[in-house]
Structure 1
Amino acid sequence: MAAAVQQRLSELLSPLGFQCEPFLIGWYNAVMQPSFHLQYPDDTLAFVVLSMPQMFEKAFKPFINFSDQKIEAIHDFEMLPNRRPKVLVQSAAHVAGAAYYYQMKDVQKNPWGEKKMYGVCIHPRYGGWFAIRGVLIFPDVQAPSLEQKLPVDCVSTDEKKIQVLERFNLHWRDWTYRDIIDVEERYSEEQKQYFATPPAERFKLLGLKSDCSSMTSGGNQQSTTHGAL
């Protein structure tokens, strides 16, 4: 069942510029504090959804319809009433093997002391030129035999890991953290301009009226929330 669901998702989303990688709820909960646990059985199938550079041109807001499957979607920006994020998408991407979530603990010689440095996911093909859009959970599908794959550690040196964390935390607006490795594809100039423009002014770029407030405002960073393994 897990393989069939993944195939159907790929058939729908890959042509639109999305990547979906499966994971089990237990993998995610195992690396999270109890307050962040997702309340499903450990062997429940889920997918982390990433958007690739071509998503912008191919499908700005795609719609997924699984008529014969119960599916629960959690967007990266959704919050609980206590203002905690519903899901930490960077951790989900890491446990699914979709992208490596680099954090301070991955640096052998910490140059920052007690200063907090947020982590960042790097994709082995697209570097930082992607976004983690959310998680799809299939509560009726249990897949205890699903094999976990490790994310590719593509930022291999300590120096590079320090560099990507500093660029992401201190200079994320200049886009340079996204090119910490050689990449296959980057955002188009139109997409970069869109995400670099203040949200209230973005509609003019697409020829839309300013009351279209439902359109996504993400893109400068991979997610509006930060995860922690």
Structure 2
Amino acid sequence: MEGRVAERLRGALGPLGFEVHAFKVGWYNAILQPGFHLPYPDDTLAFVVLSTPSMFDKALKPFVNKERLKIIRDPVDQCVSHHLSRVKEKFPDQKVDVIFDYEILPSRKPKFLAQTAAHVAGAAYYYQRKDVKLDPWEKKKKIYGVCIHPKYGGWFAIRGLLLFPDIQDGRYRDIIEVKERYSEEQKAYFATPPAERFRLLGLTQEAQRGTFH
């Protein structure tokens, strides 16, 4: 199920210069304080949507040319909203929730932490202060993290989330009588966020970082 959804999303958004990367809501919630949790069960399937450099020519310019008279706020936000709303139409039998990167809660907190979502999905590595071996800054100084994409470095943007509340745990795997299943160790591995899997295999953090460059 997840694979078919991902394939359909990539078919719709890839030609427009967007990338989609899957993750479980539980991966995201597990590393954040409750105030930032997404209000969905842990097994809910989600996708983080990135715009790559080609989005400007493939999606934004055609959108502006076609919708010039309807643009009343940020053209990029309207372009992304337009295309992600159209994606929902491709899943008429599924509930699809969209959260955009610019949306905030009444508390003024963002509805989701974009860099964290990209990290747990394995879309980009979220480098934070703790990743710096020789910290040159004063302890009290706040240092913000930065996401690095394996292909585009810092030349990309995180635009939103697509959530599929009806697509959750892996029970569909047993829809027929099967000859063999994943071991508990293997299930634990695939249930772990991609950014944390190297640790389970006994690989070093340096090796993990190498996959993101």
- TM-score, normalisation: structure 1: 0.64
Moved over 4 A (4+): 144-147
Aligned equivalents of 1:155, 1:6: Cα separation in 2: 21
Structure 2: distance between partners of 1:20 and 1:153: 21
Report what 1:55 is aligned to: 55
SS in 2 for 1:5: helix
Unpaired segments of 5 or more residues in structure 2?
A: 61-78, 171-186, 197-207
Alignment-derived partner of residue 98 in structure 1:
123
- Classify the secondary structure of the residue corresponding to 2:167: strand
Residue 69 of structure 1 deviates from its aligned partner by 1.7
The answer for the alignment partner of 2:23 in structure 1 is 23
1:68 matches 2:124 = no
Map 1:96-175 to 2 at 5 A. Answer: 96-113=121-138, 114-144=140-170, 147=191, 148-150=193-195, 153-154=209-210
Q: How does 1:178-193 map to 2 (within 5 A)?
A: none
Q: Deviations over 1:11-65 (max 9, x none)?
A: 1011111110000000000011110011111000000000010011111222322
- Cα 1:76–1:154 change in 2 (3 A) is farther
User: Do the aligned partners of residues 78 and 109 (structure 1) sit closer, same or farther apart at CA in structure 2, a change above 3 Å counting?
Assistant: same
Whether the 8 Å CA contact 1:24–1:143 is kept in 2: the answer is no
Q: Which residue of 1 aligns with 2:12?
A: 12
Question: Where does residue 74 of structure 2 map in the other structure?
Answer: none
- In structure 2, C-alpha distance between the alignment counterparts of 1:129 and 1:38, rounded to whole Å: 27
Amino acid at match of 1:153: R
* Partners of 1:94 and 1:100 within 8 A in 2: yes
Which of 88, 108, 113 is residue 83 of structure 1 equivalent to? 108
- Asked if 2 retains the 8 angstrom alpha-carbon contact of 1:99 and 1:121, the reply is yes
- Percent identity over paired residues: 58
TM-score for both structures, normalised by structure 2:
0.69
List per-residue Cα deviations over 1:87-126 (Å, max 9, x = no partner). 0010000000000001111112211122111111000100
1:38 paired to 2:38: yes
* d(CA) in 2 for partners of 1:137, 1:116: 32
Say if 1:124 and 1:154, in contact at 8 Å, map to a contact too.
no
Structure 1, unaligned stretches of length 5 or more?
Answer: 157-180, 182-229
Closer, same or farther in 2 for the Cα pair 1:140/1:133, shift >3 Å? Answer: same
Measure the CA separation in 2 of the matches of 1:58 and 1:42: 35
Secondary structure of 1:140 counterpart: coil
Of Structure 1 and Structure 2, the greater helix share is in: 2
Q: 1:127/1:79 Cα in 2 relative to 1: closer, same or farther (>3 Å)?
A: same
Query: Partners in 2 of 1:34 and 1:150 — Cα distance?
Result: 21
Give, in whole Å, the separation in 2 of the partners of 1:155 and 1:107.
Answer: 18
CA shift at 1:143, angstroms? 3.7
Say what the alpha-carbon RMSD is for the aligned residues. 1.9
Size of the alignment, in residue pairs? 157
